[in-house]
Amino acid sequence: MRSKDTVRVGAGAGTSDDRLVPALELAERGDIDYLVFECLAERTVSRENLSRSKNPEQGYSPSLHARLRMVLPTCIRKGIRIVSNMGAANPLGGARAARKEAADLGLGDVAVAVVLGDDVSSLVKHRGDLRLIENGEPLESILPKMISANAYLGADVVCEALNTGAPIVLSGRVADPSLFLAPMMYEFGWAYDDLPKIAQGTAAGHLLECTASVTGGCFGWPDKKNVPDLARNGYPFADAKADGSIVIGKTPGSGGRLDVMTCTEQLIYEIHDPSAYITPDCVLDITGVTLTQEAADRVRVAHAKARPATPTYKVNVGYADGYIGEGEVSYGGIDAVARAKWAAEIVKERLKLQGFVYDDFRVDLIGMSSLHDQIESRPEPYEVRLGMAGRTLDRRAAHAIGFEVRAMHMHGPGRAGGACEPRVRDVLAVKSVLLPKSMVNAQVVVEGTP
Amino acid sequence: MSVRVYDLAHSRAGDKGNTSNISVICYDARHWEFLERELTEERVADAFRHLAKGPVRRYPLRNLKAFNFVIENALAGGVTVSLAQDIHGKSYSNVMLAIELPDPK
């Protein structure tokens, strides 16, 4: 049991492909107040923008239906509020879909508070002078190919959405830790100048945003880092108190492990400069953070610090950048590697004969050098899979790679096996700019009656 | 005699754009100073020279008995355009763990 002055914020998804059932287990057995689904990878909003342009009703995360269908009955019954960025490129459409799911489940009129304003594409269209963070070039260089531009909004507007009383809060792009910080700010009345508390809540959000990463997922190692019952690992939650104290826990009875080691890996994960992790809410400093095992599967987080937030939002600009074509085929047994290398040369020559050119091209011997390169120093495996990939603006050139690799069955060195169908995918590239916060109009709209 | 980073620490790799972010976390806090001395930016840059242009920056995190390495130009242009099998470089922590260091004894 937990004390009444605690707010418990649970993590229900760390990516749109995350498992569904652990979120339900957390809602049923975790005694949580909030269930947060973080479902947007870098490219997701661009992809969903394309979906919306084909069908104006779509553009939210397609996983919204399955997730809400699974957890809504429990959440509504127990009064667990849902916070999610599954609105993606169409939060209003997502809200309508969520309300329909609720009605279909017999839960009646469930209101959804929708966070809007992250879509800044019409704004940045006129700001071609903004510099891309990645290469310093003007935004102008990718504007003609732009598909989407979304600001990473902060916890303040999500907090405002919670203030409406709606059981569900749905947003597009919001920074991952902000989704978790918002319920704490709302419950305890924390403001952005309560920096030690904002720091603690942001650290908690960062620990929760990859769900199973703190409960033993992506952690185990045979005979070295054991994870019990990994097939059933559970999702985590944070117990927050008004004074900013934070303890991380996980679903009772679930598999996995939650300890200082798992939390340390996630705390440092993708943080770059640990004294300056920039979120829309603050600049987090974890260089003094302590993690303490307080009980089984409970870790206390203390001493996070923060400086005030920067005056800008990071904006992800998604744009179409041609195609990636891929093909794979396998060689096994005597001289497998030599035959795979020969096939690669033939494919390259065939592509050249057809006049195809590529901005980037790559040959992998999967089983030897596809992850860490250095083919010259790797031992020869019994079997190897040849992978070839190229990026190009010409769709036919992209398709030709997989076509020619597959043709190694008929026209290559002796006995290839198991070629895959030629694969072609659209490249949705992402670059970013900084936009003054004052230019962005983050706002909340309520669908239904809270 | 030598030890591997693997013998003393665990590690996780993540990405942002074309930059790889790799943590190194001591099992035993007593090994932190040894790693501070031996697991230098130069040594890590050398281990990743075939994968990353760099530069490599090391951030010490003594409070967590850890280090964070930030390696730039490491992910074939980044997850959205990379042709690599492991577009995020999640497996890069295994390159870090395989680095050999002089025996601490």
pLDDT at B66: 98
Residue A1: per-residue pLDDT: 54
Inter-chain touch B21–A272, beta carbons under 8 Å:
yes
Disruptive mutation site among A270, A275, A375 for chain B (greatest number of B CBs within 10 Å): A270
Chain A residues whose CB is inside 8 A of the B63 CB are 287-290, 303
Task: Note whether A331 and A275 are same-domain residues.
Answer: no
A136 inside domain: no
Tens-place pLDDT, residues A253-269:
999 999 999 999 999 99
Q: Spell out the domain ranges in chain B.
A: 2-102
Q: Are residues A300 and A367 in the same domain?
A: no
In a domain, A143, yes or no: no
Q: Do A265 and B10 touch (CB under 8 A)?
A: yes
Beta strand A168-170 with A146-151 is: unpaired
- My answer on whether A291 and A334 are in the same domain is no
Top pLDDT among A398 and A41 is at: A398
Looking at the domain assignment, is residue A213 inside a domain? yes
Residues A160 and A272 in one domain: yes
Whether A124 is in a domain gets the answer no
Residues A290 and A336 in one domain: no
Q: Is A138 helix (H, G, I), strand (E, B) or coil?
A: strand
Q: Check whether residue A249 and residue A373 sit in a common domain.
A: no
Are A159 and A227 in a shared domain? Answer: yes
A287 and A396 fall within a common domain = no
Question: CB under 8 Å to A101, separation ≥6 — which residues?
Answer: A64, A65, A68, A69, A72
In which domain, by residue range, is A199 found? 6-118+153-310
- Pick the residue of B18, B21, B22, B64 with the most A CBs within 10 A to test the interface with A by mutation: B64
Cα(A329)–Cα(A125) distance, integer angstroms: 44
Could you give the CA distance from residue B40 to residue A7 in angstroms, rounded to a whole number? 42
Report yes or no: B17 at the A interface, CB cutoff 8 Å.
yes
Same domain assignment for residues A324 and A266: no
- Order of strands, edge to edge, in the sheet holding A282-285? A277-278, A282-285, A305-308
Say if residues A289 and A403 touch (Cβ distance below 8 Å).
no
Number of helical (H) and strand (E) elements in chain A, helices listed first: 12, 18
Joined tokens for residue A385: 């899979």
List CB contacts (< 8 A) between B83 and chain A: 324, 326, 360-362, 389-391
CA distance A123 to A393: 27
Last residue of a domain, one of A310, A344, A376: A310
Which pLDDT tens digit goes with each residue over A146-203?
A: 999 999 999 999 999 999 999 999 999 999 999 999 999 999 999 999 999 999 999 9
* H-state helical runs in A105-194: 121-124, 155-162, 176-188
Interface size, chain A vs chain B, as Cβ–Cβ contacts under 8 Å: 110
Q: In what order do the strands lie in the sheet with A6-13?
A: A290-295, A298-302, A246-250, A236-241, A6-13, A34-37, A81-84, A168-170, A112-116, A443-447
Chain-chain contact of B66 with A264 (C-beta, under 8 angstroms): yes
ipTM: 0.96
Indicate whether A447 belongs to any domain: no
Q: B15 and chain A: CB distance < 8 Å anywhere?
A: yes
Whether B33 shows a pLDDT value over 60: the answer reads yes
pLDDT of residue B105: 66
CATH code for residues B2-102: 3.30.70
Q: How many domains does chain A have?
A: 2
Single out the residue in A310, A342, A373 at which a domain terminates: A310
Same structural domain for residues A204 and A80? yes
Is A336's pLDDT higher than 90?
Answer: yes
Please tell me what DSSP assigns to residue A441. -
The answer, for B21 touching chain A at a CB cutoff of 8 Å, is yes
